[in-house]
Amino acid sequence: MIREGDKVLLIDRRGKRYLVTVSEREFHTDLGILKLGELIGKEYGETIVSHRNEEFRVLKPDINDIIAKMKRGPQIVHPKDAGIILAYAGISPGDTVIEAGVGSGALTIFLANAVGPNGRVISYERREDFARIAQKNIELAGFSDRVTIKLKNIYEGIDEEYADHIVLDLPQPENVLPHAVEVLRPGGYFVAYTPCMNQVHRFFQAFQEYKEHFYKPRVVEVLVREQEVKKECMRPKTTMLAHTGYITFIRKL
């Protein structure tokens, strides 16, 4: 049952989505005004009607809805890349993950969702303005209980003594290798997301010094080709999100 203070996703007849917090206030849309107080006591899947008699379906938002609607600072990690990070590194409930930089907090939200209420995500960020945006986004997603944002340059060191995994989205992941060797548990993954090929090259040049500590590396790029499904024709969409980044996985021995 929906209660005051809950986050709710509303979908109109055109498929437009609205993320709202349930309260006694009014919510204005181009399809009419909604009295959000009418949501209290409803079940997800029911509808709410605007003063112009337009129906809105009421759903429980998931993390993709939160990420789509949250405030952005820097570019976020796309869900296709977040998915493979979680899957290939085997990030699991109860894990402790060290992340940097937090940016807008999108990848942090995926990580926090995967580690669950008994896990921890410790996210280093060197810019205070981005840390503030990410903190709000993490609160919006309901994960403040398991995420700690640290205002610190991770190249200078990792304060924690233990990590199941280290996940990086910053320009020079090779600078974190010496710290990772100290804190990463055997079997844990070091994951680096980098948009450019020369970053991957630079990483592997530096990696030579540390390779005895890691199982053989794996570098992937994820391409998702969405399909257009129409009554008479099903085919790939003519446009797609092509390159986002390279993802490097190395596993600690």
CA-to-CA dists, residue 21 to 145, 176, 196, angstroms? 19, 39, 39
Torsion of CA 179, 172, 207, 195, to 10 degrees: 130
Q: Are 222 and 240 in contact, with CB atoms under 8 Å apart?
A: no
Shortest approach of ligand SAM to residue 194 CB, angstroms? 10
Determine, following the binding rule CB under 6 A, whether residue 202 of this chain makes contact with ligand SAM. Answer: no
Q: Which is nearer to ligand SAM, 155 or 210 (CB)?
A: 155
Determine, following the binding rule CB under 6 A, whether residue 173 of this chain makes contact with ligand SAM. Answer: no
Rounded distance, CA 2 to CA 97, Å? 32
Task: Check the annotation: does 89 bind a ligand.
Answer: no
Determine, following the binding rule CB under 6 A, whether residue 180 of this chain makes contact with ligand SAM. Answer: no
Span near ligand SAM by CB under 6 A; candidates 51-59, 111-119, 121-129, 201-209: 121-129
Task: Check the annotation: does 112 bind a ligand.
Answer: no
Amino acid in the structure at residue 228? E
Q: Which is nearer to ligand SAM, 42 or 126 (CB)?
A: 126
What secondary structure, in 3-state letters, does 154-202 show? HHHCCCCCCEEEEEECCCCHHHHHHHHHHHEEEEEEEEEEECCHHHHHH
Can you read off the two tokens belonging to residue 43?
Answer: 């079940």
Tell which one of 100, 140, 147, 177 touches ligand SAM (CB under 6 A): 100
Tell which one of 154, 166, 177, 191 touches ligand SAM (CB under 6 A): 154
Task: Check the annotation: does 169 bind a ligand.
Answer: yes
Evaluate the CA torsion angle 91, 96, 102, 105 in order and state its sign.
positive
Determine, following the binding rule CB under 6 A, whether residue 85 of this chain makes contact with ligand SAM. Answer: no
Q: Which is nearer to ligand SAM, 56 or 203 (CB)?
A: 203
Tell which one of 65, 95, 125, 164 touches ligand SAM (CB under 6 A): 125
| CA angle centred on 60, ends 91 and 38, rounded to 5° | 160
Can you read off the two tokens belonging to residue 87?
Answer: 């899957």
Can you read off the two tokens belonging to residue 195?
Answer: 């948009």
Task: Check the annotation: does 144 bind a ligand.
Answer: no
Shortest approach of ligand SAM to residue 20 CB, angstroms? 23
Determine, following the binding rule CB under 6 A, whether residue 44 of this chain makes contact with ligand SAM. Answer: no
Span near ligand SAM by CB under 6 A; candidates 153-161, 182-190, 200-208, 221-229: 153-161
Shortest approach of ligand SAM to residue 171 CB, angstroms? 6
Please give the backbone phi and psi of residue 174, each rounded to the nearest 5 degrees, phi first. -60, -25
Shortest approach of ligand SAM to residue 25 CB, angstroms? 29
10 Å Cβ neighbour count for 222?
18
Residues at the binding site are 104-107, 125, 169
Residues at the binding site for S-adenosyl-L-methionine are 104-107, 125, 169
Question: Which residues in this chain contact ligand SAM in the complex, by CB under 6 A?
Answer: 74-77, 100-101, 103-107, 124-127, 130, 153-155, 169-171
